[in-house]
Every structure is written in C-alpha cells, then in structure tokens.
Amino acid sequence: MKILVTGGLGFIGTNFIRYWLNNHPTDQIINLDKITYAANPHNLDDLKSNYLFVQGDILDSVLLDQILPGCDLIVHFAAESHVDRSIDDPLLFVKTNVLGTYTLLSAAKKHGNIRFHHISTDEVFGSIPFGSNTEFSESTPYDPSSPYSASKASSDHFVRSFGKTYGLPITITNCSNNYGPYQYPEKLVPRMITNLIDHQKIPVYGQGENFRDWLYVTDHCSAIEAVITKGKIGETYCIGGLKETCRNIDLVNLVINLMGKSSDQIEFVADRPAHDNYAVSWQKINQDLGWQPKETLESGLRKTIDWYLNNESWWRQAKTEAEEFYKKLNNYQNLKK
C-alpha cells in the first residue's frame, strides 16, 4: 500500500510513521509537511527505505496533483494544533485546518476517490460540565469552544460531506489529549517536564480543576491502525486512553512525584478563555474493532519523562521559542485588560 501522510514531522505524525513502517514494512509512505514551528525537520532522518519526505503545503493543489497519483490512502494529521495559538491568531487555523482539509479532500476525489482517514479531536464536542459524569461519544452534538476546535469541527463536517456527496471513502477519529515523545514543548505535558528539568515553575491555568482524558501516542497510533485496517467506511470512532478523567492539578502532581520534585514548583496563573473539560468514551472502537490502550497514565508518563530527559538536544531550541510565544501572549493579554 502507498500512503500519503500529512503533517508527519509533527508530534503524532512522526510517531505514526515510525509505528506504521515498523508494523507494515512493505508499505510506502510519502510524508507531506510544510515544516511550521511545530515540526522538527530531523525527526525521521533515520528512515532509509519506503519513505519519502516532501516539503509542502496541503493548500497547494498543484503539488497534490504531483504526489497523489498511485496513493491508496491519505492519513491526514497536518493542522495548526494549539488552542492558545488559536486564541492569538484564529485566521491561520481557518486556513490550515478548514481550507487545507478541503483542498486535500478535493484532491483525493480528483485522483480516484482515495481512501481518506481524518485525524480529529474530542474538542469538537465542547465541554463536559464540572460535576457531571457524562462522556463524549460518536453521537455527541458538536459544540466547539475555541477557534482551534471550531476549525477542526468544520474540517470534520467537510470530510463527512465528501463521503456523503461524492462517495469518498472516509473515516474519522476524534481522540483525546496525546502525550509522549516528540511533542512540541508548548503543550502541558512536555512543558511541565522540561520546566521541571530546568528548575522552573509549572504554570497551571486557573486552579487546575479542568479535566481531560490522556492517551499515550503509541496507543493512538494503534487505534488509527485498527480503524484503517478494520474500520467501517463512513464511520467515526472516538479514542481515549483512560477509564476515568484526570484533573490537570492531579496530572501535574503525578509528574512532579515521578520526577522526584516538590509541589512548590506549581504556580497558579490566569485561566485560559473558554477553558473546557473533556472525557471520551472509547466503547465503540473497543467493541467493534477490539482496540484498547496498552499504557496506563503512569507507565506512559514514565516513558515520556525518560524520553525528554534523554533528548534535550531535540527540545532545547523549541522550548525557548515556545516560552517566547507564551511571553508574547501574556503581554498581549495584559494590554487588552
């Protein structure tokens, strides 16, 4: 099989390409990535066979016409992925996540209705109220809160519409928060690990009461594999990693304990606007496709902490840039007050 992966130099895309070629060594992968701030161009330098990297934009339909012929499957990761950046610059999210996905769908249709697997997020469903035991599932109505989740919701609608209108063979996965190796250190888990390595405080938004489901990235990759190989065309599958959600403050304390640090390292800071809560039911993918996560939160965090401890050269420059972004965001928010 020949697969076009988009966004394969980002966090999940990098892990997915490694996972896929390990488990399907005769398949071929073309990795199309624009190399934004979130990509590391050297992530996959060691891949020698059955792998081709193309630097480019998913909005470039001429380039897509050159690389899509012969592809059997598109796995679409490329996106602007950070909620805080979408609050700062929403238009970029409309361009990449909505127009970019539309451009890719049109190209998939043009080149013989190529199978299209779309990677989406649980954030499209909105927020679980505090104190409620409910969970998002495939039938939860869309109610996005941030410009990021609104752009992902829109992209999901376009993917489904191409399935219904043009018969494009699509599948969608909506997953919870991923963590693991190669994650850009703007996101909570790598930000706190690298702050602790640097003896810096961990900024916790609000009182840390917001909660999420956490999914180790390799478990996400195996879930995508299950949907690609066994999923039903036209269907959506929700993916989560835990049976119960975790409050941010509990996650932060767990990482602090695993790294042998003290809770004095926590600093409560201003809350994120429209800060929401997520909990995902992964019953459907479990029952229909037999998938379940392998890692517990603790085992996944141990692997992740070890990776960041052993790969400082990978994250050092990115961390400087990520903290510059946060400084700019704070200055901007202070100016607006």
**Catalytic residue numbers?**
122-123, 148
Residue closer to ligand NAD, measured from CB, 78 or 305: 78
What does the block give as tokens for 170? 């699509």
Smallest distance from ligand DAU to CB 292, Å: 19
CB atoms within 10 A of CB 70: 12
DSSP code of 37? T
User: CA angle, corner 234, sides to 32 and 289, nearest 5?
Assistant: 90
If phi > 0 it is left, if psi is from -120 to 50 it is alpha, else beta; for residue 197 that is alpha
| Interface with ligand DAU, residue 319, by CB under 6 A | no
Nearer to ligand DAU, 72 or 198 (CB): 198
Show the binding pattern over residues 130-159: x = contacts ligand NAD (CB under 6 A), - = does not.
----------------------x-------
Within 13 Å, how many C-alpha atoms sit on residue 271's CB side?
A: 10
Could you say whether residue 272 binds ligand DAU (CB under 6 A)?
yes
Q: What is the DSSP letter of 72?
A: -
Positive or negative, the Cα torsion across 34, 39, 41, 47?
negative
Among 38, 327, 281, 307, which residue's Cα sits nearest to residue 189?
307
Q: Which is nearer to ligand DAU, 51 or 125 (CB)?
A: 125
Distance CA 177, CA 148 (A): 14
Angle formed at CA 175 by CA 235 and CA 72, multiple of 5 degrees? 50
Here the tokens at position 116 are 């299209």
**Residues 157-186 as x/- pattern, contact with ligand DAU by CB under 6 A:** -------------------xx---------
Q: Taking CB under 6 A as the rule, does residue 205 contact ligand DAU?
A: yes
Cβ-closest position to ligand NAD: 10
What is d(CA 147, CA 94) in angstroms, rounded to the nearest whole number? 8
258: exposed, middle or buried (C-beta count within 10 Å: 0-12, 13-18, 19+)?
Answer: middle
Residue range at the interface with ligand DAU (CB under 6 A); choices 64-72, 197-205, 288-296, 329-337? 197-205
Residues of span 245-264 touching ligand DAU by CB under 6 A: 248
Contacting ligand NAD (CB under 6 A), which of 30, 51, 81, 277?
81
Residue 210 lies near ligand DAU (rule: CB under 6 A): yes
Residues in the site for ligand NAD, rule: CB under 6 A? 6-7, 9-13, 32-36, 38-39, 57-59, 77-79, 81, 96, 100, 119, 121, 152, 175, 177-178, 184
Residues in the site for ligand DAU, rule: CB under 6 A? 81-83, 121-123, 176-177, 187-188, 191, 203-205, 210, 212, 248, 272, 278
